[in-house]
Structure 1
Amino acid sequence: MTEYQPELIPPKNSALTPEEQTKCEEYRQRLAAYLKDPAFRAIEGFPIGTDEDILALSDPPYYTACPNPFLLEILSQWQQEREEIRSKLGLKEEKYQREPFAADVSEGKNDPIYNAHSYHTKVPHKAIMRYILHYTDPGDIVFDGFCGTGMTGVAAQLCGDKKTVESLGYRVDDQGVIWEGEKVISRLGARKAVLNDLSPAATFIAYNYNTPVDAVAFEHEARRILCEVEQECGWMYETWHPNCDDPNRVKGKINYTVWSDIFVCPNCGQEMAFWDETTNPSTGVVTDTWSCPRCSSLLGKNPSKECGALKAEYAWTTFLDKETNNTVRQVKQVPVLISYHVGKKRFEKKPDNYDLEIIDKISNQKIPYGIPTERMPEGSESRRNDDTGLTHVHHYYSRRNLWILAKIQDSIFKKNTTERVKHYLEIWFTSSQSRLHKLNRYMFEHHRHVGPLSGTLYVSSTPVEISPFYFVNEKLEDHLSVQIPHNKKVISTNSSTRLKIPEESIDYIFVDPPFGSNLNYSELNFLIESWIKVITNSHEEAIINKYTHKLIPQYAELMTSCFSEFIRILKSGGWITVEFHNSQNQIWNVIQESLQKAYFIVADVRVLDKQKGTTKQLSTTGAVKQDLIISAYKPNGNLEECFKLKAGTEDGAWEFVRYHLGKLPVTNESNGVPAVNAERQAFLLFDRMVAFHVQRGVMVPLSALEFYAGLEQRFTRRDGMYFLPDQVAEYDRAMLNAKKPVQLTLFVNDEKTAITWLHQQLDSDSGGEPKTQGDLTNDFNRVMNRAKHEQPLELIEILKQNFLQDTEGKWYVPDHNKASDLEKVRQRALLKEFKEYTESTGRLKVFRSEAVRAGFAACFKRQDYQVIVRIAERLPEDVLREDPDLLMYYDSAQLRKG
């Protein structure tokens, strides 16, 4: 084979050649023509902005601040390049075979690339690199439909950088082959990235992270701008040391100023600064209540009824807003602390007369530059400060910071430099936004300021006004430390519900989707987007937000639409990795259900423990409030075609199981030790088989016991897991000198999970042994956390219905013949109980979930979808949403009830 020469990342680019400039201008003119087309502007998720502003932000053809009309021609070119690379490396398409990535991932967030520009959520690019290296080859095309700041693009390109790959702990040989120990895991070489996001702020950051810039020209222009701004506005952040009245005073530079809300005593009308009354400067302790300095009434900002304090009222100030020419009423605030420096020494003081005069002077002048003055949009975050008078974008900044920011942006626009340098100056400007508004807070116990409360637009009663001269210069150093790779990427700004990407053109997908109601991205991005003048079209935003009438069903529909597009563009047999923060069970179930509805098949779920920096496999969908790493695949065409011919038959079911087992890793580790792979256990294999049928509207041909008996007959069992014949030898070799694999953590909250837990305890092949009821009781009571809606079922009843007892009184797992007899009796009892539910009326507040599951399965088998829908709608909504089995049957029945 020809020796592979790894792609070297060139230094940051210089100015474009005349030919390149001509080509760029041609693309810009083509984009301008597209923007005039009403049909183009009607594409889902098209951002809000004028043609001029969208063009100014874009760098066609590889980045557009709107749907990218050049995607098809770029992808066509990339596919040709991909074939050439694969031919050179001797890679054959039909040999593509990957197991889900099943290793611990721990990558810190202290890399300069990660820190240069903040964002609400961000996965470190080195963590993403591990997945891309595992699932792809050089030249492959990677897609991220919720790209945020573009870390997937950075990761894709750095897969061609030997030094970065080796920093992950891998070894790269002279042939460009990447090794982990004695195992080949990938090949060195850049991958290409298609990045998409609804937010113009996100795609603009992603573009700048993924596009080289002339670092020398950028630094030169940035420092010239800082010099210009200092000359015009430097006086705004000057102060006298130690104070303006000292005869030996010297000029200092302000680092930051702490402000305080003013409150009024409801009893006597006395005004008081929140800072003065609630803080103890020597201890850093902040009290919840305080005494009025005039009448001694006990007061609090938001006092509890128990403490007996009166609620202090805000003091208000009314003034003419010079930008909107409207009268504005806002909570009164005063500066209470100034941190400044003289030379290299830092000091603190209370504002003196000179400081107050400076603030008044700035307040009485009109800012001579354009600033964003938009009304904050409807939303829980964007309107949370309306009650204190912060109603428009410019209200979120102190007046001097607003002036200085406007001056910086004006200077950027007027610079005679390349468009690329201008764009990077603008991203330096937007990255500074994170600390130059009123969202900064003061941390009393550490005597310093901190940033905004994550994921909110919360303004505290002691906001911190940071000097732009201090912070913008700090961000400049951050950007200068970033080594931007020379990326092959294409970036588009539109909804992932409708992608202009050809079918089966993407080799791998990595996404970090919105987490339900955790973050309202469009609201949080509104401040930055108001400065760049292109705003998110939130109609297609996949979040839960009652203000925009998006609840769980709407979120589920949007996520299903996105995943349906992802599976359409992904090649057969390809993989998707979903990094997801599981804040609520019902949101996790929506993601799982959306993946299944789109016909993805989940093959591995891991919990990412950020504190320990490790992952561990998740065996159930219990209440795990951590990040999840979900690996799912698109079945190849052969499986789907074969299933169509055998749908509803036992052969069809076993065809799926064989295919699915072939997709699962043979060995599994958790925290560095061998662990049972839950996906290879009988209960999860059964669930995957059922879901495969139900989502396709096909009758499930096997009961649970028939399925379990069939597993024993057709596949080899090891340590409670099932393997294909050719996988057993590999597993046995791997376990030859290893300890017996540990069982995974199981969350027991209902009858189904209790039965699974008991199987683990009593099955010798799973590491258990026959036990008496007494042996089991204490452990059972410890792990059982019965949901409040779940009908109580005693341990002895579960044992009698599912297990057998020997002559010594020990319970054990019966063989399949006897288990089948038990299951038939149990099924009759469950269906009898379900029938009682169908004959009753009103809400079902306490019920036996296993009876509902059995009833839904029976109804689905006889196509009685109306009964499923009717009973499901009588269940508590949160219970329905948090049970993946019930939710799957309900959603499928709704589609088919006619």
Structure 2
Amino acid sequence: MEECLAGVQNQPISDIIKVPRTDPIYNCHGYLTKVPVGAIIPFINHYSKPTEKVADIFAGSGMTGIAAVMSGRDVELSDISVLGQHIAQGYLAKVTPQELTKAAKSVVSKTRKKFGHYYQTIREEDGTDIELVRTIWSFVYACPKCGYELIFYDHVMLPEAERKDVCPECDTKFSRRTWNGGSDIPVKVVVKGVQGKQIEQDIQEIDFQNINDAKAEDILSKVPSLSIDPEREMYSRSGLKNRGLTETKKFFSARNAIILTELWDNISKIEEERIRKKLQFAFTAILPRASRRYQWSKQRPLNAQNQTYYISPVYFEWNVFELFLRKVNAAKKSDDVIYNSSDVFGDIEHGNARYSLASADLLEHLDSDSIDYIFTDPPFGSNIFYSDMSLFHEAWIGQTTDNANEAVIHTCGKKKVNAAVRYGELLKGAFKEAYRVLKPGKYMSVVFGNSKGNVWSLVLTALREAGFDSVPDHIAILDKGQRSVKGLSSGSESVVTVDLIMTVHKPTDKAAGESNVKWRQAEPEELIEAAIFDAENGDAKNPSYVYAHILREAIKRHLLVDNLHLSDVLIALRKAGYSVDPKTGKLSSPN
């Protein structure tokens, strides 16, 4: 660590970085697997000086760029993701709150004047004409034996004691898999009541009329859309063919599609680029919620799943104007954190940050030995397919990510063949480019998380073969918190809820970086046993913590973990008497 900055050695990096995903920047725009800015800043401050140049070669939505700008560093961002570039440029577009408010109100006013009547309804409480907040829609399932149509919303709203999972006409067992799905129908409307609180009311004739009239609008032919083709991983994973959801526009109701199209058109006519970028940023941020992917539950909205194209059997159709204006306010809060954290802020094109569309294994826009520090977050193997999910937003942006060199492991279709080998080669190429552009003696931090040990071995091998020192300079556990029900089980579905941040060193002399250290395969049982023993100290909050501790210990001891899987850890914990609280995801010690 001798080559770390003067003045920053007194700011050691913790072995556990815990930064919740609740800050205004993180929540302003959705993007898969973001690292919170607060987790990146300590590394930038530790491994680089103010005014030095930072880079992120898997930049995604630009969190490293924001952290660098806030820390007074120049930053070079690059990724193949068109959506990622769009989001980062939106974050970094400097607009005053007054300018943003004025522009947002203007485009909403123009759009509402033309198509706002589609949200008009009548409040049952007092007969007042009012704009609805949202509509609840339900799937309708047809009994395969007698044709009886079951409205799923009515079914789940029955008291549990009265709910029977059979057809009320012929007693055929109800199954969402085997009963044919009919047309979705609206079942409830939510409005602001007389007392100001939101209330539900039954669908009225005016609601049906507005829904039907919207379906006849000519503007529907102009709704931006992209095909989700069969060769896409998410085509198979999300079962899109069965429900005819092979185009992105089919995920929107007719009236929301109309209003979104008109709103996007009005935003795109704004001449001032920075204001236009910021409003387009706010617009794309609401797309999942403005679509049929916004899940309903009895207790509260469940939001939209970002990793799949899933539509829940009961879902929301939300008022686009309300969503957009709320997101504009969120953008102002995000800007406030960025602008007030530093006196150093430059324009995206000419100042501190630049975002280039480039594959991580071909960084032609960067000179050799030109970067002082790299912080990057590569895709996690087969977990998420960024380019497939980005189609939903990129249809509106008007440019599509070239996914030929996407660093993912395919599990479906033709690309499944040799997918792991291809993934390893892409990572190796990316790390070699990182080695090339990084100055000698400098550092790169890599965020990574995966439930499969063989994927971890691919990463470690790629780093070594790229030329970095074989022993990481620092390994930290990154805990971003966990909000999803799936993640709370912390591994019951092969989900890892904490990641590792490995910082590796580029030697000043390439020969000096060559190591005679021999890596050997670990004995998973031995590592797991030791980790469970350590769990008695209360350090392991959930199974993912135990798994991360095992990985960190293995890397420090030059052990490969090809034969380790998160499920092995879960089984061992259960055998040792541990259980996982289904509400908190935390480990409970054996009695």
Q: Which residue of 1 aligns with 2:279?
A: 425
What is the aligned partner in structure 2 of residue 607 from structure 1? Answer: 477
Cα distance change on mapping 1:502 and 1:97 into 2, 3 Å: farther
Residue of structure 2 in register with 1:300 after alignment = 175
Distance 2:21 2:68 in 1: 18
Cα shift at 1:455: 1.3
Corresponding position of 1:393: 248
Identify the residue that residue 568 of structure 1 maps to in structure 2.
436
Cα distance in 1 for partners of 2:172, 2:355 equals: 60
Residues 519, 757 of structure 1: CA spacing in aligned structure 2 closer, same or farther, 3 A cutoff? closer
Q: 1:107 to 1:642 in 2, by over 3 A?
A: closer
Q: Contact 2:189–2:200 at 8 Å: present in 1 too?
A: yes
Cα distance in 1, alignment partners of residues 312 and 216 from structure 2: 25
SS state of the match for residue 301, structure 2?
Answer: strand
Aligned match of 2:46: 134
Counterparts in 2 of 1:95 and 1:264: CA distance versus 1, 3 Å: closer
Please name the residue that 1:213 is paired with. 95
Q: 1:279 to 1:374 in 2, by over 3 A?
A: same
Q: State whether structure 2 residue 147 is matched by structure 1 residue 269.
A: yes
The separation in 2 between residues aligned to 1:611 and 1:540, in whole angstroms, is 30
2:180 pairs with one of 304, 313, 330: 313
Give the corresponding residue for 2:184.
333
Does the Cα contact within 8 Å between 1:278 and 1:286 map onto a contact in 2?
A: no
Report the Cα distance in structure 1 between the residues aligned to 2:505 and 2:132, rounded to whole angstroms: 55
Distance 1:457 1:523 in 2: 10
- The answer to whether the 8 A contact 2:226-2:391 is kept is no
Shift of 1:369: 7.5
Larger radius of gyration, structure 1 or 2?
1
The answer as to 2:457 corresponding to 1:589 is: yes
Aligned: 1:496 with 2:360? yes
1:438 maps to 2:305: no
Q: Which residue of 2 aligns with 1:511?
A: 376
Q: Which amino acid aligns with 2:29?
A: H
Counterpart Cα distance in 1 of 2:254 and 2:431: 45
User: Which one has a larger percent helix, Structure 1 or Structure 2?
Assistant: 1
Q: Residues 363 and 642 of structure 1: is their aligned pair in 2 closer, same or farther, counting only changes over 3 Å?
A: closer
Aligned-partner Cα distance in 2 for 1:278–1:262: 12
Give the 3-state SS of the residue equivalent to 2:448 in structure 1.
strand
Q: CA deviation at 1:339?
A: 1.2
Residues 27-46 of structure 1, C-alpha deviation per residue, up to 9 Å, x if partnerless?
xxxxxxxxxxxxxxxxxxxx
- Aligned twin of 1:405: 260
Match of 2:321 among 451, 461, 469: 469
Mapped contact 2:19–2:481 kept (Cα < 8 A): no
**Residue 623 of structure 1: how far off its partner (Å):** 11
Name the CA distance, whole Å, in 1 between partners of 2:122 and 2:19.
Answer: 45
The CA distance in 2 between the partners of 1:394 and 1:561, in whole Å, is 36
What's the CA shift for 1:391? 1.5
Aligned to 1:690: 518
* Partner in structure 2 of residue 536 of structure 1: 401
Structure 2 Cα separation of the partners of residues 400 and 607 of structure 1: 46
Determine the C-alpha separation between the residues in 2 that align with 1:193 and 1:256.
41
- Name the SS for the 2:132 alignment partner: strand
Residues 132 and 156 of structure 1 are in contact (CA less than 8 Å); yes or no, is this contact kept in structure 2? yes
User: Is the contact made by 1:585 and 1:623 (CA closer than 8 Å) also made in structure 2?
Assistant: no
Sequence identity percentage: 28
Task: Show the 5 A alignment for 1:91-130.
Answer: 101-130=13-42
Q: Cα RMSD (Å) of the superposition?
A: 3.5
Q: Name the SS of the counterpart of 1:522 in structure 2.
A: helix
Unmatched segments (≥5 aa) in structure 2: 340-344, 347-351, 484-493, 535-545, 547-557, 567-591
Please report how far the alpha carbon of residue 136 of structure 1 lies from its aligned counterpart in structure 2 after TM superposition.
0.8
CA distance in 1, matches of 2:301, 2:6: 56
8 Å CA contact 1:118, 1:434 repeated in 2:
no
Structure ranking higher on relative contact order (CA contacts 8 Å, 6+ apart): 2
CA contact under 8 A between 1:584 and 1:623: conserved in structure 2? no
Report the alpha carbon displacement of residue 630 of structure 1 after superposing the two structures with TM.
1.1
Inter-CA distance 498–286: structure 2 relative to 1 (3 Å threshold): farther
Residue 749 (structure 1) aligns with: 524
Instruction: Kindly provide the amino acid, as one letter, of the partner of residue 631 in structure 1.
Output: T
Which residue matches 1:629?
Answer: 501
CA distance in 1, matches of 2:29, 2:258: 22
> Following TM superposition, by how much is the alpha carbon of 1:598 offset from its aligned partner in structure 2, in angstroms?
1.0
SS at match of 1:499: coil
User: CA distance change for structure 1 residues 522 and 572 in 2, over 3 Å: closer, same or farther?
Assistant: same
2:307 maps to 1:452:
no
Q: CA deviation at 1:97?
A: 10
TM-score in terms of structure 2 length: 0.79
Separation (CA, whole Å) in 1 of partners of 2:325 and 2:495: 44
CA contact (8 A) 1:582 1:626 kept: no
Question: Following superposition of structure 1 onto structure 2, how do residues 233-248 of structure 1 map, counting pairs within 5 Å?
Answer: 233-242=115-124
Pair 1:547-2:410 in alignment: no
**1:201 aligned to which of 71, 75, 83:** 83
The Cα shift of 1:443 comes to 1.4
Partners of 2:120 and 2:8 in 1: CA distance: 64
TM-score (norm 1): 0.53
Deviation at 1:625, TM superposition (A): 6.0
Q: Name the counterpart of 1:370.
A: 222
Cα gap change, 1:507/1:239 in structure 2, threshold over 3 Å: closer, same or farther? Answer: same
**Distance of 2:450 and 2:323 partners within structure 1:** 34
Equivalent pairs counted in the alignment come to 509
Distance between the aligned counterparts of 2:276 and 2:291, measured in 1? 23
The offset of 1:434, in angstroms, is: 2.8
Alignment of 1:130-279 (within 5 A): 130-159=42-71, 190-242=72-124, 249-279=127-157
Q: Deviations over 1:244-273 (max 9, x none)?
A: xxxx52123211111111111112111221
